[in-house]
Amino acid sequence: MKSGGGKKSGMVLLEVLAALTLFAVVSLALIIALNETMDADRDRNAADAAMRGLSNQLAILRAAPITPGDQDLPDDGTGLAYHLKVAPETMQDQKKQPVLNTYRATLTVKWKSAGHDEDREVSELIYQP
């Protein structure tokens, strides 16, 4: 009688160890990819919130009388910092006559994302008769 069980069980043990190692490496790669995806999603959501905030602030600006100046806007509860700069814009109509009450409004939003500062800016011409 030959006893070959020792070799076979040794090979099975090596196969199980190799499978566990492969599983661990794949699991680690998936965890890293998931973490990076979540970070990118968080950054995208912050930028999206900032752009929605800029749109809202512009709507508020259009609805109120325009006054030239440079000011920080009050916090709207989102934690984003808004800055507004309004300056008169010199324009002419087709007859080369000056167009009064035309302003360039530049709105800037700033926030922190992943430990570094981010900002977006939008500029718009506004005419108020």
Higher pLDDT, 8 or 32: 32
- At residue 74, the pLDDT reads 86
Q: Which two tokens stand for residue 33?
A: 């990819």
Report the pLDDT value the prediction gives residue 17, as an integer from 0 to 100. Answer: 94
What pLDDT is attached to residue 1?
46
Position 2 confidence tier, pLDDT thresholds 50, 70, 90: low
Least confident of 4-8, 40-44, 65-69, 74-78: 4-8
Question: How many domains would you assign to the chain?
Answer: 1
Domain span at residue 70 reads: 5-127
Q: What average pLDDT score do residues 113-128 get?
A: 89
| Average pLDDT value over all residues in the chain | 89
